[in-house]
A and B are shown apart, each in its own frame.
Chain A
């Protein structure tokens, strides 16, 4: 059973394909993540699904309702927390929720009860009657989440729910999201460019880059798909060393990245702890000077790097020219 299905969904602005043939599906009651750098098209997808933008072409269904022909039914079944603030700061928290309840045509008795319920859920009950302009950023965010939940939506969209929040507030937003997904049996679709957020929260994700889907699976499967452990080496002459290493079977994959002052070599191996001494041995024999070495389990960052050839942060800064070569033949051969 799917909450959302899209087929070749496309949005063009002039010649720019902000969203390019996106086909994805979101299962009922899961937390689904749209992950990608800023400007990848995540928000545009959400806006189309929420009926705020009309797609240029393609098909999409939310809770079984077509986003073009059944707008009102779609609007009734979704809640949305926008990336930028969208509360009325001249009203109190409770007044904002009351506005929402009435515009969604909720009955009076249900309304009062539900307002208290969602306020309680996001721990704002004692702040309900002060003006939103006196709320902190985290409180405003929580109020927006509460508001998105008011009318018992089946699907809740969260567009960059923790953008601009401090680490502690981020953590607590994550906990709310997890809890309401479980307690309220609600499908959550969130966009984020934080890899750790997607990893921690999402049951499944799509990675989006330049408006296209580049991967669509669970975080665990995506991480497994690029190998086990990652050993990173900073070396003076990475290219030569890379050529040397191609002779060794225990290395399942390699990527070389030129970073301004040094070259970084990423090796994916199984049982990384045991492999470090072997690699150091090889380096020693070849006379390669290793400046530093690191070992880590793969993250979604590596997945993104693997599929796009750059890190998600490179795109965020957008300026740094990144020159990289990838050697993948071996990886494909051995798997």
Chain B
């Protein structure tokens, strides 16, 4: 296995070029998480108290890292869509016939998806700050970026895995949404997980995004359910597994 940096760079650059030319995509994918943050955040803030959230932390502060996790999840996983579009418009053939290791193609695609997801994650974080979410500081901000990258890599590759096995763009969107919603709802983005029924708690423990949201929350507002080390460990293992699996499945793609 050999890395072709020129190829990785140009595959990444193409994703970037297309991303910045599609302004509606940027705005569209920012809107949804912001609705959740603003409406749920201020709505619950006024009337509900979760006993597991320390009293000095507002609900909207608790929610913000969860919403960032959600935005990353949805945006990352849908980057598999670019593969399906390339399949449909024939461009994937141009990529697959090039003398480039399949691993480099996956890395280029992943880098593109991660960058766009990261841009959105950071934008949401900045907007949260503007509407009054309080974070711990600069170190927290930087450590949050590390978690954002790990979350994005995991789910971009998962999106590639779905895409390598599917042909239809609408089908892809349906299936990934069907998959992403429980992952997002069971990640602790909305509520603390401590007092959940035991069977539901086990489900959340099996969910990689749970550790991502926990890591983000630790970085940004300083509360955590697990330890940061465990969060990091789980995410690094999961994202590595996803990269390997998506490279394997990508190599098996035969284009017509």
A80: nearest residue on chain B (CB-CB)? B97
Within 8 A of B (CB), among A281-332: none
A44: nearest residue on chain B (CB-CB)? B256
Hey, what's the 0/1 contact readout for B60-100 against A, CB within 8 Å counting as 1? 00000000000000000000000000000111011111111
Which residues of A are interface residues toward B (Cβ below 8 A)?
47, 50-54, 72-73, 75-76, 78, 80, 82, 84-91, 95, 98-100, 102-105, 147
User: Which residues of chain A are near B98, meaning CB under 8 Å?
Assistant: 75, 100, 103-104
Chain A nearest CB: distance from B167 CB in Å? 15
**Known pairs A88-B14, A99-B14; A104 contacts B99 (CB<8 A):** yes
Chain A nearest CB: distance from B44 CB in Å? 41
* B134 sits at the interface (CB 8 A): no
Chain A nearest CB: distance from B17 CB in Å? 7
- Whether B94 contacts A50 by the Cβ 8 Å rule is no
- Whether A102 contacts B97 by the Cβ 8 Å rule is no
A54: nearest residue on chain B (CB-CB)? B254
A98 and B17 alpha carbons, distance in the complex (Å): 13
Residue of A50, A80, A99 with most chain B CB atoms under a 10 A cut-off: A99
Residue of A54, A85, A102, A147 with most chain B CB atoms under a 10 A cut-off: A102
- Whether A72 contacts B99 by the Cβ 8 Å rule is yes
User: Besides A76-B99, A86-B89, A86-B93, 6 other CB < 8 A contacts?
Assistant: A75-B99, A88-B18, A88-B91, A103-B10, A105-B6, A105-B99
Q: How would you classify the secondary structure of chain B's contact residues: helix, strand, loop or mixed?
A: helix
A105 and B3 alpha carbons, distance in the complex (Å): 12
Choice from A76, A88, A98 contacting B89 with Cβ under 8 Å: A88
- Whether B89 contacts A103 by the Cβ 8 Å rule is no
A73 and B254 alpha carbons, distance in the complex (Å): 19
**Known pairs A54-B254, A90-B21; A84 contacts B90 (CB<8 A):** yes
A88 and B93 alpha carbons, distance in the complex (Å): 11
Choice from B99, B100, B101, B254 contacting A52 with Cβ under 8 Å: B254
- Whether B7 contacts A105 by the Cβ 8 Å rule is yes
User: Which residues of chain B are near A90, meaning CB under 8 Å?
Assistant: 18, 21
- Whether A103 contacts B6 by the Cβ 8 Å rule is yes
Chain A nearest CB: distance from B21 CB in Å? 6
User: Which residues of chain A are near B89, meaning CB under 8 Å?
Assistant: 85-86, 88-89
**Known pairs A72-B99, A75-B99; A102 contacts B10 (CB<8 A):** yes
A27 and B228 alpha carbons, distance in the complex (Å): 64
A104 and B104 alpha carbons, distance in the complex (Å): 13
Choice from B9, B14, B18, B97 contacting A75 with Cβ under 8 Å: B97
User: Which residues of chain A are near B160, meaning CB under 8 Å?
Assistant: none
- Whether B90 contacts A85 by the Cβ 8 Å rule is yes
Within 8 A of A (CB), among B150-199: none
- Whether A86 contacts B99 by the Cβ 8 Å rule is no
Q: List 24 A-B contacts (CB under 8 A).
A: A47-B256, A51-B97, A52-B97, A52-B254, A52-B255, A73-B99, A80-B97, A82-B90, A82-B93, A86-B89, A86-B91, A87-B90, A87-B91, A87-B94, A88-B14, A91-B14, A91-B18, A98-B10, A99-B14, A102-B7, A103-B7, A103-B10, A105-B6, A105-B99
B5: nearest residue on chain A (CB-CB)? A105
Q: Which 4 A-B residue pairs are closest in the complex by CB-CB distance?
A: A86-B90, A75-B99, A102-B10, A76-B99
- Whether A103 contacts B95 by the Cβ 8 Å rule is yes
B101: nearest residue on chain A (CB-CB)? A72
User: Which residues of chain B are near A102, meaning CB under 8 Å?
Assistant: 6-7, 9-10
A47 and B256 alpha carbons, distance in the complex (Å): 8
Hey, what's the 0/1 contact readout for B100-117 against A, CB within 8 Å counting as 1? 110000000000000000
User: Which residues of chain B are near A104, meaning CB under 8 Å?
Assistant: 98-99
A108 and B101 alpha carbons, distance in the complex (Å): 21
**Known pairs A52-B254, A84-B90, A85-B89; A105 contacts B4 (CB<8 A):** yes
* B242 sits at the interface (CB 8 A): no
Residue of A84, A91, A95, A103 with most chain B CB atoms under a 10 A cut-off: A103
**Known pairs A52-B254, A102-B9; A95 contacts B17 (CB<8 A):** yes
